Amino acid sequence: MESVGPKNSLLYKDFESHPAAVVKCGRGIYLETEDGRKILDATSGAAVACLGYDNCEVRDAVALQLMDLSYCHPGFYKAKVAEDLAGFLVDSTNGQMSKAILCGSGSEAVEVAVKLAKTHFAHLPTPQPERTHFIARTGAWHGATLGALTLGDFRGRKDPFVDLIPQTASRVSACSTYRGLRNGESEEAYVCRLAQELDDEFQKIGPHRVCAFVAETVGGSASGCATPVPGYFPAMKAVCAKYGALLILDEVMCGMGRTGTLHAWEQESIVPDIQTVGKGLGSGYGAISAVLVNANLVDSFRASGKGFAHGQTYMAHPLAAAAALKVQQVIKKENLVANVRNMGDYLGQRLKSRLSSHQFVGDIRGRGLFWAVEFVVDKHSKKPFPANLGLNGRLHARGMKKGYEIALFNANGTYDGYAGDHFLISPPYIVTEAEIDDIVDRVCRVIEDTFAELVELAPKVQGLNGVQ
């Protein structure tokens, strides 16, 4: 029996057709539901729970913090534990970033990053208040609040609110070897083409009006773990520098170790001006995110003698900060980022060896413990499945059924002009080789059985005729 979501909470999936499983407890990398299912969480929620669900050290750190200080207003005080966490974050960048602003969610961090970038230009000795435009990328997801939706490109979540969203962003192509790199084109030529596209966009908007270029260092939910090709970010940063604009990297999903280094930009030979982190920071033990600010920007803020007009009641919350600080200490002590690299390589190999030849698997891509499988009707044309099929929803639903019991983070992808289907596999950093084997076995069964059902349905589904 599928359990039905709590009657009192209306979440977007709590409708009768999509009953959410009611989770009773979490153990290791498994979630146990009220109706007796033990779900292998292959996605850490959505790349959140990097330590799994029952880390005792984190639990004790939160309990101890609760005994000392539950809350203090961030406008009047600084909680000691929040200062310690900010110090940890700054140190983790080898002095490249020199301030951390602690917030409550990824969307808030993105909003803070945008406001901070604008404030930077307003506070320069010769102010540049006209820099209010942001250039983002196709297939981006930066969060659900109105300001963050401005930057995002996840049509399903954005379109219903388009008349409320500030129109202060435009878009250039994301970097995607699967969808963007042309046949026979070298990666160097591809990077030049993308840099030229960004340059053209600056020219179109008016370079003096552009505040920042905003990108996920490794694409997340909407683009499905799209990894940059070598040289991409240095080229994009050079275009920003040419026009005096900032580079904001959103690492809410791909940051804090998920791709095999604490900060994903460490693998890109650049340092951003502003960076966001979120999900992996608190590993789900606390609702927390952060904005890291480059030393150069901080110096210029300091020189201006002016502040940053931003405040929220639950910023730098002591309980969330205590959780995040302990999570990060455990990750360091147990050398878990190395495990992300090793297990990530293994996961990538296993997925490729089992699924590359599958008729409907178009691409398998990722880095560290951050992988996506993208589905296409036809490998040659890369044509996606018809949207009305709800393929990614079907894959997720099958994974949650008895006999499969694996959580896959399904998404309606948005890839450079295409809408399609993929799911993410982003297990906790504590995952073992045996658990990865189990994940890959279950993933293969989910895919086989979902497509077996679809092929039976094929004659009835518009756009699927001929699939076998």
The nearest distance, CB 422 to ligand PLP, in angstroms, is 14
Of the two residues 115 and 445, which places its CB atom closer to ligand PLP in the complex?
A: 115
Of the two residues 199 and 416, which places its CB atom closer to ligand PLP in the complex?
A: 416
Of the two residues 289 and 328, which places its CB atom closer to ligand PLP in the complex?
A: 289
The nearest distance, CB 227 to ligand PLP, in angstroms, is 14
Token digits for 31? Answer: 């979630």
| C-alpha triplet 26, 28, 29: angle, nearest 5° | 85
CA–CA gap between residue 144 and residue 165 (Å, rounded): 11
Token digits for 348? Answer: 């990538």
Of the two residues 291 and 440, which places its CB atom closer to ligand PLP in the complex?
A: 291
Q: Is 274 left (phi over 0), alpha (psi -120 to 50) or beta?
A: beta
Of the two residues 53 and 409, which places its CB atom closer to ligand PLP in the complex?
A: 409
Q: Would you call 230 helix, strand, or coil by DSSP?
A: coil
The nearest distance, CB 360 to ligand PLP, in angstroms, is 26
The nearest distance, CB 196 to ligand PLP, in angstroms, is 25
Q: Would you call 291 helix, strand, or coil by DSSP?
A: strand
The residue at minimum Cβ distance from ligand PLP is 106
Q: Would you call 30 helix, strand, or coil by DSSP?
A: strand
Written as one string, the DSSP assignment of 190-246 is HHHHHHHHHHHHHHHH-GGGEEEEEEESS--TTTTSPPPPTTHHHHHHHHHHHTT-E
According to DSSP, residue 357 is labeled T
Of the two residues 112 and 191, which places its CB atom closer to ligand PLP in the complex?
A: 112
Of the two residues 205 and 287, which places its CB atom closer to ligand PLP in the complex?
A: 287
* CB-based contact 450:385 (threshold 8 Å): no
Provide the CA 270 distance to its chain's centre, in angstroms. Answer: 19
Binding site for ligand PLP (CB under 6 A): 46, 105-107, 110, 141-144, 216, 220-221, 250, 252-253, 278
Q: Which residue do the tokens 């917030």 mark?
A: 103
The nearest distance, CB 31 to ligand PLP, in angstroms, is 19
CA–CA gap between residue 325 and residue 283 (Å, rounded): 10
The nearest distance, CB 117 to ligand PLP, in angstroms, is 15
The nearest distance, CB 110 to ligand PLP, in angstroms, is 5
H or E element, residue 16: none
CA–CA gap between residue 60 and residue 216 (Å, rounded): 33
Q: For residue 168, give Cα distances in angstroms to 148, 154, 216, 274, 343.
A: 11, 16, 18, 18, 41
Q: What is the CA radius of gyration of the chain?
A: 22
The nearest distance, CB 278 to ligand PLP, in angstroms, is 5
Of the two residues 139 and 344, which places its CB atom closer to ligand PLP in the complex?
A: 139
